[in-house]
Structure 1
Amino acid sequence: MSRPNILVICGRNKRRSRTAEHIFKNDFRFNIRSAGLSPQSNRKISENDLNWADLVLVMETDQKTKIRKVYQHLELPAIEVLEIADDYEFMDEELVDTLKVKMNALLALNYEL
């Protein structure tokens, strides 16, 4: 199987999802991209992102609900919730550790990576 495409989403793509993309951008196991749901996002989620993704990782349950509602006309990839609150700054050490643990566990479960 080729490397899966992982899309990581948070509210504004300023801290959590951007940190995830930054720490995993050179990971040989998968391709990664990040975006935000808010119109004020550094990089706003698009239909192209969702069509590209094999797996979408969101930080909060309501983000999963919003994606399903806004993009209900698309055949969406699996969406998993990481349950990481918006309590961190970009590249916060605790955020980095939490993302590594949670994302590696989900990738092992979904792709045996």
Structure 2
Amino acid sequence: MTRLLFVCGRNRWRSPTAEAVFARYEGIETQSAGVGKDAETPVSAEAIEWADLILVMEPGHKEKLTRDFGALLRSKRVVVLGIPDEYRFMQPELIALLEERVGRILGLPDAR
């Protein structure tokens, strides 16, 4: 089982979409969180420890994680997906981007 933690700013649109999309894949467990003070689900030490791979939407999210959880991230792989904050929850264009980029990282056979 591969555990994926998806992170965006407020945990309202991008990371919850990624969590929902990849939870459907066999052999993958997902969680999502946000780095902002007003995040629906703030990133926690427990979530970082739980994750096998941390996927953030923007470089600034990785910077905030490193600042706040640097010691915990030493043994973790953190990947920046490069997905801007211009999509709504479960928007088809967002789903397509996520499937392409995360699929490529995970080596999924149907990755675009």
TM-score, length basis structure 2: 0.90
CA-atom RMSD in angstroms: 1.3
Residue equivalent to 1:97: 96
Once the two structures are superposed, residues 14-56 of structure 1 have per-residue CA deviations (whole angstroms, 9 ceiling, x without a partner) of: 0000100111212113111100111211111100000001100
- 4+ long deviations beyond 4 Å: none
Amino acid at match of 1:103: V
> C-alpha distance in 1, partners of 2:2/2:13?
23
Q: Distance in 1 between matches of 2:42 and 2:70?
A: 17
Where does residue 60 of structure 2 map in the other structure?
A: 62
Count of paired positions: 107
Asked if 2 retains the 8 angstrom alpha-carbon contact of 1:54 and 1:77, the reply is yes
TM-score by length of 1: 0.89
Q: Partner amino acid for 2:91? A: D
Greater alpha carbon shift after TM alignment, 79-88 vs 17-26: 17-26
Question: Could you list the runs of 5+ residues in structure 2 that have no partner in the other structure?
Answer: none
Contact 1:50 1:76 in 2 (8 A): no
Identity %: 36
